[in-house]
Structure 1
């Protein structure tokens, strides 16, 4: 997860993408799947299944104390209230970040991940380097993502599995009292839902989009 690793991962991603494209071409040529079906599934995972769903749930929890309590008590049921759930999200637990405690999620054995809420896992989440270092050196990992927490903050590591998948309820940023749920959701990132980052400050979402 250093700069050198990022370069290596980029090359690896290019190779994987080329293989996927080649596999798609073979499947289409043999009539096993059509291009329309591929485009449809790509659209679903890009626009309907992804961290934007988790962001919407977090925003609701930030403004609705009763919903937040239900989310922390039974994440799977609370997500279902908002129409979010399904495969890879049958049993979920939400971990609340506070001023005193910060939660970080990893899957040390493979890459178990709450797909209905966060979409497909990012490539770095699957790499052995992240899976090992998140447990051994969580502060170092978070620092490489730009997150540096006070020494007084307790770091808790949660190991997801095929049976139980964790994700994080990040702290609500200061200065957001007047924002709507839709505006709050724009501050929630995939990284903050995993725990390697925090929610964006007001105005940072626009800056990130421009970048």
Structure 2
């Protein structure tokens, strides 16, 4: 049913007013609150420590990961380090997976691997079970990464899902889907695009977006995190 507007009417349809999202608390949020308060009560950590850790986690973003890839494009020795000891390479760009607790967290301090694309191989990451993601170096995962639609369909129809992001790969390029799990996290190292000869590390890092590091986009000159990429909706059937 449509919303009919009558000229001159001063009535307000309260039934159609959008309710604030805070009214809807998920079961997971209730569990988190209960568990957090219990841990504070038992002395496992203080409310202040929880606040500091939360602020630390929220400020993490993909910039260090972009710098890591840009440096690898410019320095073959660093690229080798990134592929053989990604934890050490992470520290070189200011990310210590052990921080801020000194021992990491159960969901983050895990085996980490950087997947290098080639002219005949393209990687894309997913967590088919839930939403495992390399948060210490990429920050919090985007909402679409956590949706059942992405998780279930990418492992079955990766080319179709990538096309919905606007990424069309030729048939001679193998698409390899890496499934994160409880103990493994992945990040994609895309190939350096043409048209970037002579670019500095800063210039290169700017075009390596979060989506490139997940594998649903390719870095291109002129496309940065400030540009909204054109995506095609996942609509099936006749238009």
* Normalised TM-score (structure 1): 0.77
CA contact (8 A) 1:58 1:185 kept: yes
Residue 146 of structure 1: aligned partner: 166
CA shift, 1:44, in A, is 4.2
Residue 171 of structure 1: aligned partner: 191
Residue 5 of structure 1: aligned partner: none
Residue 224 of structure 2: aligned partner: 205
CA shift, 1:85, in A, is 2.8
Cα distance in structure 1, aligned partners of 2:23 and 2:153: 26
Larger Rg: 2
Unaligned runs of 5+ in 1: 1-13
Cα RMSD of the aligned pairs, angstroms, is: 3.2
Cα distance in structure 1, aligned partners of 2:125 and 2:212: 10
The higher-RCO structure (CA 8 Å, 6+ apart) is: 1
Unaligned runs of 5+ in 2: 1-19, 31-35, 37-45, 98-103, 231-239
Say if 1:85 and 1:134 are closer, same or farther in 2 by CA, change over 3 A: farther
Q: Which structure has greater helix proportion?
A: 1
Cα distance in structure 2, aligned partners of 1:59 and 1:72: 14
Cα distance in structure 1, aligned partners of 2:206 and 2:111: 26
Equivalent of 2:136, from 113, 116, 125?
116
Say if 1:16 and 1:64 are closer, same or farther in 2 by CA, change over 3 A: farther
